[in-house]
Structure 1
Amino acid sequence: PEEVRAYVARFLGSLEAGAEDFDAAVLEALIFAGLDGDGGRGPGLADPEQTMQARLVLTLRWVRELELGPEEQRELLAQAGRRVAV
């Protein structure tokens, strides 16, 4: 839990603008839900629009942090699509 909180704090602190648009608790819940394997449908994620926005921003951040190239990004999207289809 402390690692996730610290990551979210660093993430929000690194945003040039728009950090106020994100609730740290929702971002933490989204990460915990993903780690728990429920695909981000955990408690505290009732607002679909906010959840989608948080997912998108976190995913883009992880792509940048992992330095994924175009082919790796396509593979990531393909894997995500396969998981959603299941």
Structure 2
Amino acid sequence: MASIIAVSGSEEGTYYYLYAFVKTINDYRNAGSVLLGDRIVVQAVKISGKKIGIQYLSHGPDDEKNSPSQKTISIFAIYNGKLKKIK
């Protein structure tokens, strides 16, 4: 199971995090989290087995803070109960 959380505590930005969880016998346990970026635009999330793929727009060198345009695909996996970025 995975969740994307947006955190905004000030005017400085909105930070997006990926949280992943693994199922235990009775509940779910946090497998870790990773910062995806500030003011990104999440377009798609796909979970297949223990892999999580996220497609989003991030900021290119000439982009305004609120206008990301660079297509980014990140792949994560859960290995030994921990979230790891693999691409």
Same fold (TM over 0.5): no
**Higher relative strand content:** 2
Q: If the length of structure 2 is used for normalisation, what is the TM-score?
A: 0.24
Q: If the length of structure 1 is used for normalisation, what is the TM-score?
A: 0.24
Rg comparison, structure with higher value: 2
